[in-house]
């Protein structure tokens, strides 16, 4: 169950980067452009530890990952700036369900386990039901149609990303090396994709450059850690959707954080307990 620990770390650091822009309110595309550059700089000293696969398809997957990330992270950062970090994470239940279905269809091993052990399938189904119910309960006013329509494209793209990530990462011989390389190259490609568009827009930021760079630096650190832990979890998990359930505890962490900081929020503690219980069920039934 070590994958659950890495997924927990990925989820916590993911919350940090989502919530950071609630404070700085930097334009999503601008933030993602500089964040990816700063992430590359942070990872440069770790190049000697990276594994470089000789499979051409691996690098095509990286390009797909980078393209999806550019679109999705830009949308999420903007949602964080306009609303809050929790609303920026509303794509997760849809993405998790889609990821589970896609991987179940692609993985003979996964189907064999469920057919041989129907009780595990029942536990997993129960966990998913509780998880979705808990999210609906905890979100309250966030769960409007406008919010769901805003995050639906993000959910679809992230489900594709989760599946192809697992396929690509499993090609590595060293879990640490392939994960570092995956995050490093994705960030390079994200910057190369974003920078020409950003500078071509010739749109001056209304915020001081120091603020933009500061926000980008903070988010780069949290994002790189989150992505690295996510990669480790995806490699070890039998289904990438399970990782999504653990990282999907984001609303619970936001609930606790907002309560501690006394930030106005209408999230339901009962909903937080339900999604926490769902994550525990998924964690233990996945073995």
Q: What is the pLDDT along the chain (287 residues), one digit of tens a residue?
A: 799 999 999 999 988 887 887 778 887 788 888 999 999 999 999 999 999 998 988 999 999 988 887 777 666 666 655 555 555 556 677 788 889 889 989 989 888 988 898 998 898 889 888 887 887 776 554 445 566 666 677 778 888 888 999 999 998 899 999 999 999 999 999 999 988 888 887 665 667 788 889 999 999 999 999 999 999 999 999 999 999 889 878 878 888 888 888 777 666 777 777 888 888 888 888 76
- In terms of Cα–Cα distance, which of 158, 176, 194, 160 is closest to 70? 194
Question: What is the token pair recorded at 116?
Answer: 């041989």
Q: Distance between CA atoms of 206 and 86, rounded to whole angstroms?
A: 25
Domain count, the chain: 1
**H-only helix segments in 28-107:** 28-43, 56-82, 92-106
- In terms of Cα–Cα distance, which of 182, 185, 221, 178 is closest to 34? 221
Q: In 10 A of CB 97, how many CB atoms?
A: 17
DSSP 88: G
Which residues constitute the domain of residue 67?
Answer: 2-285
Q: Is the dihedral of CA 37, 50, 71, 7 positive or negative?
A: negative
Question: What is the token pair recorded at 115?
Answer: 């057919």
């Amino acid at each position: 169950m070590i994958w659950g620990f890495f997924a927990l770390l990925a989820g916590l650091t993911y919350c940090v980067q989502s919530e950071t822009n609630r404070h700085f309110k930097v334009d999503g595309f601008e933030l993602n452009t500089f964040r990816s550059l700063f992430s590359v700089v942070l990872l440069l000293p770790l190049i000697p530890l990276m594994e470089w696969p000789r499979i051409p398809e691996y690098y095509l997957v990286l390009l797909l990952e980078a393209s999806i990330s550019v679109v999705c992270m830009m949308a999420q950062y903007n949602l964080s700036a306009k609303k809050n970090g929790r609303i920026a994470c509303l794509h997760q239940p849809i993405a998790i369900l889609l990821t589970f279905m896609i991987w179940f269809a692609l993985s003979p091993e996964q189907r064999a386990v469920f057919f041989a052990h129907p009780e595990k399938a029942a536990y997993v189904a129960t966990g998913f039901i509780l998880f979705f119910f808990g999210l609906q309960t905890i979100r309250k006013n966030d769960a409007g149609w406008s919010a769901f329509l805003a995050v639906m494209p993000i959910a679809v793209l992230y489900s594709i990303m989760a599946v192809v990530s697992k396929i690509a990462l499993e090609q590595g011989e060293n879990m640490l090396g392939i994960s570092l390389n995956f995050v490093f190259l994705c960030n390079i490609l994200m910057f190369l994709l974003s920078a020409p568009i950003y500078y071509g827009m010739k749109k001056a930021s209304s915020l001081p450059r120091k603020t933009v760079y500061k926000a980008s630096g903070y988010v780069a650190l949290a994002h790189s850690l989150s992505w690295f832990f996510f990669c480790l979890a995806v490699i070890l998990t039998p289904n990438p959707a399970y990782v999504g359930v653990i990282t999907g505890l984001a609303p619970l962490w936001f609930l606790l954080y907002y309560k501690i900081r006394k930030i106005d929020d209408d999230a339901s503690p009962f909903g937080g307990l339900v999604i926490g219980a769902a994550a525990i069920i998924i964690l233990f039934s996945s073995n």
